[in-house]
Amino acid sequence: MKESIPNIVDIKRIQETLKAKLWVKNTAEGEYITGIYASDLMSDVLAYGNSGSVLLTGLNSVQAVISAYMAEFKGIIFIRGKVPEKETLNFAKEKGLFIFSTEDDMFEACVKIANIEGKAPEIIDETKTEKKAWNIITHTFYIDGQDFASAGMVSTQVKAILKSIGYDPLLIRRAAISTYEAEMNVVMHARKAEVTLTASDKEIYIIIIDEGKGIKDIDQAMQVGYSTATEEQRALGFGAGMGLPNIKKNADVLEIDSVVDTGTRMEIVFYVK
Amino acid sequence: MRYYHSHVIIQEKCTGRLTCIRTCPTQALRYRNNSIIFHDDLCVDCGACINACEEGVFVPIIDEIADFEKFEFKIVIPSHTLYTQFGLNVHPGLIHRALLNIGFDAVHEISKHAYELSYVVSESLKSNIQRKPIISNFCPSLIRLVQVSYPNLIDLISPFDVSRELAAKEAKVKYSRELGLSQDKIGVIFISPCPAMVVSIKQPAEKDKSWIDGAISINDIYNSILPEILRIQEESSEEAENDFFYYGKSWGVLGSIQKHHDPEHTISVAGIDNIKMILDDIEDSRLQNVDYIEAFTCPQGCISGAYCVENPYISRNTAIMFEKRYGDPPEIDNKEIHLRMDKNYYKLDKKVIPRITRSMSGDITISIKRMNQKQKILRKLPNKNCGLCGAPTCETFAQDCAWGDAELTDCIFLKSNSH
């Protein structure tokens, strides 16, 4: 069961509308919430609930408040006049969640909340209401240039994540090899980089944005054997000029934008079949 | 499909020390509601739990000598490791005689087969038909690790049979012909250094049925043959010490293959975590110019197997010395080996296939949902990896919660302190 309200509503109005009893305060005056999540299934709360929401639930156990805390909710409203357990209240106090209870049942409470005319506050700090889609997984990694000792760590982590999701082994292999090549490029030629992995059931996206010397001629860099690696780097076994061609070979889409002396943005896409 | 494993869990003996869940390298164990939960699809039979538990909760399933009474003729195949368990002063001939004294009808040595196989592998590496590097397959625990965690690399597992199987096959055929007995009346029994080899006999990953009929652990046989060895040593030691014995290249000790094979293009690796690093490198095409991976999940190779008696570093010393003393192979005709190669005598009939584990739901969307749940939970966990929830690490606990196997309330840090 799920009901979310489009507008941001302040907690006080919800309390008034539901004639809710306050158990644990923990709210600042005029604090806003970003949504209501109504459910008795705590695994759904963890999977689909957005941070900054309120949990409306009939599950009167400490499990509920722990789940709400995990999902970065602001608080809980218990329905049908449930009296929260002492442990629940203590946990909420400790972790900074508020707790209300209302005499309404789930349906009545949802309808009432849905009918509140939401007044969006004028300034919303978007960074504090991070919304993540439940069917996409995102991870960010960082690479330091010239750090040959740690080279390969990011691609190893990317591979581990893709493996645990359970993609086709061949697809994982292609993604891991491409990430490794891109990682080596950063280590050899850039100062630092941010790698973002975004994965869904449709595609795997890997974006590498580096700060560094950039690529002068991308077409030339794409040629097999072309390399600007130093003698030392070659002595270490890197820089054979296979990096970009190898990524191109493995990826479904490879897009490179580069500004000389500023950096390179590389987008690698793999389609999930 | 249920997997055969070499141990049973005696829950009544468990006092909840949590040593096993922390030790298991594939995180197949949990402790919940006062009992051990065993995810048998993740178990690679390394035997770490058997060694780690002081309570003896993990009891190896091992055959006993009495189980073989049904056979009319009993052949024993000692693993190389057995010879290294008695120190430098016990000649292998004594060990063979002791085995015959306690009731076996024949001892079949394994070294000749190991020699042949090492030759066959070298030859096959010369041709470019084989995808490289070849991953050695004599450690069954390693094969299972690849099946569970590295399905990508399954084609790299050596396509040849292992020496214990070849030895059993030859012994069975030979004695059946010589004695005029049918093969099912002849029992071939292997003396195993570890639980994984027992599993590979009871439920092989690479074939339908093993040639070996049963397995005894080194530590069981040790107690039976030690008094015999001491007695023979006193009575007729000299005679036994004149027995011809070919030990070979200290097989079963880490690095032995690398040393003799092609050191430049071989990597020797032991220990599950170290093996994982190497397998990761292979997966990411990071390992260049390597033809062969010699890998053992036990730290020093088979001499550190869970059923060994002797300190592995002392066994290693014995192995090195034995290689010097008994390292010259008997007359083996390489032409004969080539003839057999042409007949695919050494090749396995079946390929090893990946094992489907519980973490693979098959549905990417569900997996991603669970991963996100797991991440959310993990962020709020104390990351102390105390194990009191019954999972080895906070990460495994978060995963168990996302999978619905554990309750968030199992974490003692998530419960309120202010009662």
ipTM of the complex: 0.74
Average pLDDT over residues A57-66: 88
B185 shares a domain with B206:
yes
How far is the C-alpha of B52 from the C-alpha of B30, rounded, in Å?
15
Q: CATH 3.30.565.10 spans which residues of chain A?
A: 137-271
pLDDT band at A124 (very low <50, low <70, confident <90, very high): very low
List the single residue in A with minimal CA-CA distance to B367.
Answer: A165
Looking at the structure, tell me whether residues B46 and B73 fall in a common domain. Answer: no
The Cα–Cα gap between B321 and B92 comes to 13
Q: Span B132-138, mean pLDDT?
A: 91
DSSP 8-state code for residue A20:
P
Q: Return the pLDDT at A25.
A: 82
Residue B416 has pLDDT above 70, yes or no: no
Residue B96 is part of which domain span? 65-342
Going by C-alpha positions, the residue among B308, B300, B285, B278 that lies closest to residue B145 is B278
pLDDT: is A101 or A150 the higher one? Answer: A101
Is there a contact between B361 and B367 (Cβ–Cβ < 8 Å)? yes
Identify whether B279 is part of a domain: yes
**What's the structural domain count of chain B?**
3
Closest CB to A173 among B152, B281, B375: B152
**Tokens representing residue A188 in the block:** 């050899």
Where are the domain boundaries for CATH 3.40.1390.20 in chain A? 9-128
CA distances from B412 to A66, A109, A133, B23, B393 (A): 12, 33, 30, 21, 13
Same domain, B371 and B333: no
Q: What CATH number corresponds to the domain at position B31?
A: 3.30.70.3270
- Using pLDDT thresholds of 50, 70 and 90, give the confidence band for residue B359: low
Does one domain contain both B57 and B103?
A: no
N-terminal to C-terminal alpha carbon distance within chain B: 47
State the alpha helices, DSSP H only, in B327-404.
334-342, 364-380, 394-403
Query: Position B46: which residue type?
Result: C
Among B362, B380, B407, beta carbon nearest to A69? B380
Lowest mean pLDDT among B16-20, B69-73, B241-245: B241-245
% of chain B surpassing 70 pLDDT: 97
In this prediction, residue A122 carries a pLDDT of 40
Tell me the chain A residues in contact with residue B283 when contact means C-beta distances shorter than 8 Å.
159, 173, 176
pLDDT for A226 equals 83
Residue B270 resides in a domain: yes
- Considering only the beta carbons, identify the residue of A42, A94, A136 that sits closest to B416: A94
Do both B57 and B72 map to the same domain?
no
DSSP one-letter code for B391: S
Task: Say whether A156 and B280 touch across the interface (CB within 8 A).
Answer: yes
In a domain, B349, yes or no: no
In this predicted model, what pLDDT tens digit does every residue of B363-389 receive, in sequence order? 888 888 888 888 889 988 989 999 999
Q: Record the pTM.
A: 0.82
Asked whether residue B350 is domain-assigned, the answer is no
* CATH fold for the domain made of A9-128: 3.40.1390
Q: Are residues B32 and B167 in the same domain?
A: no
B414 CA: distance to closest CA in chain A (Å): 7
Is residue B352 in some structural domain? no
d(CA A226, CA A240): 8
Average pLDDT, chain A: 83
Smallest Cα distance from A267 to chain B, Å: 19
Q: Do B309 and B387 lie in a common domain?
A: no
Examine the domain organization and report whether B69 and B186 are in the same domain. yes
- B119 within some domain: yes
As assigned by CATH, the class of the A137-271 domain is alpha beta
Same domain flag for B287 and B304: yes
For the segment B169-217, what is each residue's pLDDT rounded down to a tens digit?
A: 999 999 999 999 999 999 999 999 999 999 999 888 878 889 999 999 9
Tokens of B371: 């991963």
For residue B238, being part of any structural domain is answered with: yes
| Measured distance CA(B247)–CA(B14) in Å, rounded | 42
Q: Quote the tokens at residue B191.
A: 């003396």
Provide the greatest CA pair distance for chain B: 81
pLDDT at B140 over 90: yes
Residues of chain A neighbouring B396 (CB-CB closer than 8 A): none
Check if A63 contacts B (Cβ < 8 Å).
Answer: yes
Q: Is A57 on the interface with B (CB under 8 A)?
A: no
| Residues B32 and B78 grouped into a single domain | no
Query: B409–A43: do the CB atoms touch at under 8 Å?
Result: no
Task: Give the end of a domain, one of B15, B35, B61.
Answer: B61
Residues B182 and B53 in one domain: no
**Co-location of B163 and B302 in the same domain:** yes
| Whether A159 and B416 lie within 8 Å, measured CB to CB | no
- Tell whether B25 is covered by a domain: yes
